[in-house]
Every structure is written in structure tokens, then in C-alpha cells.
Structure 1
Amino acid sequence: MKKIAFGLSTVALSLAAATAQAGEVEVLHWWTSGGEAAAINVLKQEMTDAGHTWKDFAVAGGGGESAMTVLKSRAIAGNPPASAQIKGPTIQEWGDLGFLTNLDDVAKQGDWDSVLPSVVSSAMKYDGHYVAAPVNVHRVNWMWANPEVFKKAGASIPTTWDQFITEAKKIKAAGYTPLAHGGQAWQDATLFEAIALAKGSKFYNSAFLSLSDDTLRSQDMIDVFTTFKAMREFVDPGFSGRDWNIATSMVINGEAAMQIMGDWAKGEFTAAGKKAGIDYVCYPAPGTSGQFTFNIDSLAMFQVDGDDAQAAQQDLARLILEPKFQETFNLNKGSIPARLNMPRDKFDTCAHASMDAFLASSTTGDLLPSYAHGMAVNSMVQGAINDVVTNFFNSESITAEEAVDKLARAVKAADM
């Protein structure tokens, strides 16, 4: 039975009323790297300026697994935070459990249905009602490269995965790490997803949205696993357990040539004072130039007691969609605003490319939810896929054919 708290929709939402009722908001998130911390600090300051108290509850871990474990334990104990960084189908899961609160009045006041693309607004709703506020849109299928390393190695930027392998061998022979990577399940999934995406949007949709058994067992999927395993040759021996931002720093420092990572990586380049197109370059992951796998970061609002706390929570939601926050946050984070028709003048060439690709792909059927980042499937299916993917990447004995069989079986079991 679907249930959700709508009693809070009577909370006064005018700016005067909201700021008159100063309250505390506890926010659970995993924005802890340099670029991410700079981004979330913008929202902290906005809330403080509005007269509220921000209680930071940061749980490190780039994929958010640790944060979700903490959130579940807090919710079970009857003490969830006012707001938590959750997204995609996970929002629906929390809605089904009856934990989320209604943001329709804030959304109506801010005209969210008009200022948000439909792919974003629909992800923020449960049972037709807003329960979360989007802070950004990330493009996941990016490749970040250090042009100086390529120059020294006499290599060219690859535009296909076959070319990636050819150029990576040149880079490795020149004494550099071709692929900066962190051996964590979600990072393995990010790389795997990018390789699968190059097989085409139809294949991607069939495998990761429709969960077609035929597609999961297909020769194309065997090819994806084969290419994925080939990447092991191009990572350094210390990759296991490495955080994503440490891998990004390898590209920044000229130790590594490339990283396949969402555009939150750009926040690290920005924090290091690097300039797009000069110190680093951004390209779509090989073979995916017309596609856009999206990851929408959002803060969902949980039911809280007390008028002051409720007013502060609703004010938090309002501030997230304000143009000032959308611009400043995304300049720091590396992503693009969730809000449409934002001025572009302060954004760099990588952000412009992302904005253009987002709009173009939305008309061609190539705008796709990232399975690796919790936008396409529920957490059970995502976890099942990731287990197969990361076990295969770290095993010397599992063949691509065996991995495909394990994948199909795991998805079927998780999707029952």
C-alpha cells in the first residue's frame, strides 16, 4: 500500500514565514571530496543566511553505499535525518515505506514543473508528488585526459574502445598509467557501463532497463565483458580500493593519461586550479559521443516533527532550485544545473558540451539513466549486476561467457 505524508503541505512557504521560523536541518550526504565539499558548502551557507542551522552528516564513500547503510539504520530506529542524498528508483523505495514528505507547495511556488526537464522532475516525484529536490544533472559517460601525457607518449585521444586499447599500449610503453581507476564496485560499474553504452542505446536500454535475458546473454554482452577485462592491463597495481578522486588526481598530476568517470571529476580539476581545454580535456567515453547517461543528485525530504524543523526543511528545498545555488553549486561540482535556461557564461567548455549533449540526446532517444549510479534499476538489481562485474574484473579465471551467464542469472534472481 502506498503511503506518504501530505500533512506538511500546510506549512507556510513564503520567504518571510520560512525565515521567521528558523529551524535545524540535518543533511545526510556523501559529498566529501575537494570539489564536492566546496559545492555543498554553498548550500550550507545559503541555509545559514536564511537563518537556519545546518547539521552536517557526511558519510564518505563515492558511490553512497556507506551512506545508505547509515540512513537505513537511522530510519529503522525512527530517527531519520531531515534530508538525505538519494536518487532514482531509491526515492520510490523510500516513498513506498512512507518516510518521505510532500514538497508540492514549494514546487508550485517555484514553478518546478516548468523550470525542470521532464526526465528530472519525474525522478523527483513519488506517486505524482514532489518528495525530493534536484541539485544537478551529471553526465556519466565522460573521459578525462591529460594532453601532456598523450603528447609525451605520442598517443592520440581514442574515440573507440579498440583505439583505446591501441593508444593505451603506447602510453604504457612510455612509462605512464593509461587508465586511472579505483578498484571499487561502483567505479568498476562506471567503466563497464561506458563500454556497454558504446554498443548503442537500443542495446543499453534492453540490457539495463528492460533487463532482457536475451540481451544479457548476447554476443554483444560477451564482447562488452571481453573489452572490460582488457582494461585490467592498463590500470596500475595500486588500483584496488582507491577512491575515485585519488584516481582523478593521477590524471591531474600527470601520472595517468585518462579516467572514465562522471563529470564530478571536473570538480577536482577545478579545485586544483586546472583549466578545461588547457590542463585537461574532456571527451565522451569512446564510442558514446551522441549519448548521455545521466545521474541526478537530489536531496529527498524525510518526515520530521516540529513546525520550525518543517519550515527549515521546506526552505532547504526552495533554495536548492534557486538560480544562484544551481549556478554556484554546479560550477564547483562539475555538473550542469538541473534547472533549464540558466545563463552559461560562467561555465567552461566541458559544461557547455554537456548542456548541448543533454538537450540533443533528449530528442534522439540517447538520453539514458545510468544503471551504475542508481538511476535505471532498483538497488537489488544494481547490486546484483555490480557483484558480477567487479568479481569478473578481479578474477583471472572467469571467462566472458561465464560472466554473461552469471549476469543473466543474478539479474533474474534480483528482479523477482
Structure 2
Amino acid sequence: MSKFLASLVAATMLVPAAARAEGTIEVLHHWVSQSEVDALNVIRKDLETKGFQWKDSAVGGMSGANAQQALRSRLTSGDPPGAMQFLGWEGPQWAEQGVVRDLNDLAKEGGWREALPPQLLTFVTSGDAFIAAPINMHRQNWVWANKKIFDEAGIAPPKTWEELIAAGKKLKEKGVTPVAMGDEPWQIGIIFDALLSDLNGPEFYKKAAIDLDPAALNSPEMTKVFDTLREVRGLVDDNFVGRDWAVATGMVINGEAAMQFMGDWAKGEFLAKGLKPNADFYCFATPAKVTSFQYVIDSFGMFTVKDETVQKAQVALAETIMDPKVQKGFNLIKGSIPARTDVSVDDFDECAKLGFNERAEAIKAGSMLGAMTHGFAAKPEFASVFGDVAAQFFVGKMSSEDAVKMLVEGIDNAR
């Protein structure tokens, strides 16, 4: 071997693997916070070990709506990204347009269907096609509570909404803000979703939020949901207008408020301050006779492209996302739990372990429910009606009866 050739080979071996990648895949997503970026790096680094580079296209804001708008523009111009983050019905709806790649061969080979909760399949399949790889699962219906405030008031985590309301009133009498939240419709929607199931059972939730059953929508049970939502409003301070969810979490952390209803993405705020579950703060599901697990998943779909290099990168990315060790590493940072049910959570925090166990129980009990507020129950045109009515009711003076009437009329108009 000549000295020149030997030097060239040696220099090549010193080049990082990512720079010698077999190809590049552009991934469009809406994760822009530091913890989200750090979690994505787990996927990115594993993908690089397979010889492929990740080209980042992050479009933040509006819970993914801005990213979806960017995707529409790309598809219209005939320039789809290699992969895209999906929420709720986004994946199946794009699959109906014939622009999403079928990953069924990979799913069969990797046993994806067997590894995932059956309830998720609605959002990652379309007919016989497997159209997205889910990386995680968040739980929406958590309560986060300041343990010191609870302990000083002699309050234990409530087992019913009656107990929760009573505890809130007790705290309010002591000059403590019982519930921290903002007036954004989705923050209100988290409470509304929980009440639908907690007060009336999982079957009622399915009838109302998924089947859009007229009898369930226009029922005494639905009126009770709004009655209780009004009681919750009485536990919120008057400065809640315009408050970001993370600011509300900070109020609980700093002892300015006792509780917050929020998905487990809020947990990262507590952990970032060095706080520990059950020592500094409580995490428990919204109270119910039959505890539900109202889930939110993030998945990645691959678009139909002609470039064979990108096609190979899509396969590598899908395999990476569904790799148990990647799911573990990603979710340890993200604050969620693995989408796969066969990944150990022994190294996770106590809240994650509780969520993992209650997910297993919910699957058996039929109380594993898609979170409507985040797009995992009724289709968007109907879910928006629930969200609008609940938000108007919460911030206004509307009666429960009028809210039910508005809900029924809104759903009928959207049918």
C-alpha cells in the first residue's frame, strides 16, 4: 500500500461515523424545549450508529399545529420530509391521503403489535397498514400536589372528586390557592376529560367522547360534569388568565398553590428542581372509582419518497424508535413512559412506575382511554366542540344546562 493510500485510509477512519453516514433523513417535529431536544438526541445518536444522519426540522408552537402547517406546504410542493412526528388522528388522516409509507413488514418482524397496548393501534395503523412508530406514552390525567401544603393542612391525596373539592375549599379558607392553572382551552380540557370518566365511568367516556352518543351527550351525567367543573373553577385564583402551564407548575413547586391538573410532562419541572416524588410532591391520578389512564402518544410516520437512500434511513429510524433500549433512554429524559409494554421501568422515578402499573391495570379494566384534549378520542372537528364549550363555560357564567345544550348543538352541527 502506498504511503498516500495508507494516509487516506487512516484519515477516513478518523472521520466520525455520522460524517460517513450512508444517508440522511429529514425529520419534521415540534419538540423545541431543552428536555425534548435531549430526549431526541437518544434517537439521533442510535440512528448514527446505524450509519444514518438525522437532519433536524423543528417547528415549535401550537402543540404541533405549526409543524402540521409546515408539512402541508411541503406536501403541496412535492417535497415531503423523510419522517414526521404525529399526534392523535394526524397519522391515520395523512395515510388516507396515500402519502404515508406502510411499515407493516417491520412491524411483523419486530412484533410491534404484541408489544404495544391494543388501544394505541387506532392511531398508528390504517386498515392493514402500520403507518407510525410510537416512541412514548404520556398520561394526561395526573394531579401534582405540594406535599408540604397537604401535610400542614392534614390532607391526604383524595380518593373521590368530592374529597378533592372539599380539600380545595379547606385550603382556600387557609389562604392557599388550591388549584394552579391557566385559561387556555387545553388546560381546561384536561380537567373536563378527567371528569367525563371519573364521575361516570370509562364506558360513559367512550360513549360521549368517542361514539358521540346523543343520549350520553344530553344526559344528567353530562350536566354533572359541568357542575363539578364549576366547582373546580371556584378553587382557581382570579389571576389565571394567560397563565402558562409551566408557570402554574412553578406555583405548586414554590408553595404558591397546592395542586395542578396536568400531564406527566409537568413532572420534569419538579425533577429539575431536585424534588422527589412522595418526599417533596405527590403524583396521583385524578380520583375515580375506576381509575382511568388517559393517554397521549408521540409517534413518527415515514412519507412515501423515491430516494432509495432515504427509504433505507426510514427503516433504520423506525427500528431505532421501536428499540426497547432507545425507548427506555428517551423516556427517562422525556418524563413519559415507553410506548412498549415490555420495557422495564425499574430505573424510572416513582411517578413513572405508578403510571406504568396503572396503565397495565387500565388495559385489563377497559379504562385505558385516549385523551380527547390532545386528539386521541373524537375526531378533531368534534373534539374542538368539546374544548370550546368547556372553555367558554369555565371562564364565563354559563349554567350547566346551557353548556350541555351548546355541546349537543355543536356536535350535531359538526356531524
Q: Show the counterpart of 2:295.
A: 294
1:27-49 residue CA offsets vs partner (Å, 9 max, x unmatched): 23233344433322322332344
- In 2, the alpha carbon distance for the partners of 1:175 and 1:60 equals 38
1:3 matched residue in structure 2 = none
Q: Which moved more, 1:383-392 or 1:26-35?
A: 26-35
Q: What does residue 190 of structure 1 align with?
A: 190
Tell me, yes or no, if the aligned pair for 1:140 and 1:294 is still in contact at 8 Å.
yes
- Conserved in 2, the CA contact under 8 Å of 1:292 and 1:368? yes
Aligned CA-pair RMSD? 2.3
Indicate the residue corresponding to 1:405 in structure 2.
Answer: 405
| Counterparts in 2 of 1:19 and 1:127: CA distance versus 1, 3 Å | farther
Residue in 2 that maps onto 1:248 = 249
| Percent identical residues | 40
CA displacement, residues 91-117 of structure 1 (integer Å, 9 cap, x when unaligned): 221111112112123323322233223
Q: Report if the CA contact (8 A) 1:87-1:374 is conserved.
A: yes
Structure 1 residues 92-107: aligned runs within 5 Å: 92-107=92-107
Conservation of the 8 A alpha-carbon contact between 2:277 and 2:350: yes
Matched residue, 1:64: 64
- Could you tell me which amino acid in structure 1 is paired with residue 55 of structure 2? K
- The letter of the residue matching 1:188 is I
How many angstroms does 1:190 deviate by?
0.9
Task: Return closer, same or farther for 1:304/1:20 CA change in 2, 3 Å cut-off.
Answer: farther
CA distance in 1, matches of 2:160, 2:297: 26
Matches within 5 A, 1:42-61: 42-61=42-61
Q: Cα deviations across residues 346-393 of structure 1 (Å, max 9, x unaligned)?
A: 022222221221112212221222211211121111112211111221
Deviation at 1:306, TM superposition (A): 1.5
Letter paired with 1:291: S
Q: In structure 2, what is the Cα distance between the partners aligned to 1:296 and 1:388?
A: 25
The one-letter code sitting in structure 2 at the alignment partner of 1:201 is P
Cα separation, 1, equivalents of 2:108 and 2:38: 29
Provide the secondary structure at the position in 2 that maps to 1:297.
Answer: strand
Distance in 2 between residues matched to 1:41 and 1:69, nearest whole Å:
24
**Conservation of the 8 A alpha-carbon contact between 2:117 and 2:363:** no
* Corresponding residue of 2:129: 129
Aligned residue number for residue 317 of structure 2: 316
2:235 equivalent in structure 1:
234
Instruction: Give 1:123 deviation, angstroms.
Output: 2.8
Superposed counterparts of 1:11-50, under 5 Å: 22-50=22-50
Report the structure number with the largest CA radius of gyration: 2
Partners of 1:28 and 1:81 within 8 A in 2: yes
* 1:243-392 correspondence to structure 2 within 5 Å: 243-287=244-288, 290-392=291-393
Question: Do the aligned partners of 2:24 and 2:310 also contact (CA within 8 Å) in 1?
Answer: yes
Task: Give the superposition deviation at 1:200.
Answer: 0.9
Q: Is the 8 A contact 2:87 2:299 kept in 1?
A: yes
Q: 1:311 to 1:271 in 2, by over 3 A?
A: farther
Q: 1:137, CA displacement in angstroms?
A: 1.9
Q: Contact conserved, 2:21 with 2:53, CA < 8 A, in 1? A: no
Q: How many residues get paired?
A: 397
Q: Does the aligned pair in 2 maintain the 1:197–1:288 contact within 8 Å?
A: no
- Separation of aligned partners in 2, 1:278 and 1:230: 29
Deviations 1:148-171 (A, max 9, x none): 122334434322222222211222
**Equivalent residues of 1:141, 1:288 under 8 A apart:** no
Q: Could you tell me how far 1:288 is from its partner in structure 2? A: 5.7
Does structure 2 retain, via aligned residues, the 8 Å contact 1:46–1:319?
yes
Matches within 5 A, 1:160-199: 160-198=160-198, 199=200
- Give the superposition deviation at 1:405: 0.9
Match of 2:392, SS? helix
Quote the residue 2:76 is aligned against.
76
Tell me the amino acid that sits aligned with residue 374 of structure 1: G
The amino acid that maps onto 2:99 is F
TM-score by length of 2: 0.88
Residue 135 of structure 1 aligns to which amino acid in structure 2?
I
How far the C-alpha of 1:317 sits from its partner, in A, is: 0.9
Secondary structure of 2:347's aligned partner: coil
**Distance verdict in 2 for CA 1:146–1:368, change over 3 Å:** same
8 Å CA contact 2:94–2:100 kept in 1: the answer is yes
Equivalent pair of 2:345/2:356 in contact (CA under 8 Å) = no
CA contact (8 A) 2:92 2:131 kept: no
Q: Would you tell me which structure has more helix in proportion to its own residues?
A: 2
| Between 325-334 and 150-159, the greater mean CA deviation after superposition | 150-159
SS in 2 for 1:300: strand
What stretches of structure 1 of length at least 5 have no aligned partner?
1-17
Moved more, 267-276 or 195-204: 267-276
Structure 2 equivalent of residue 112 of structure 1: 112
Change (3 A) 1:359 1:173: same
Aligned to 1:149: 149
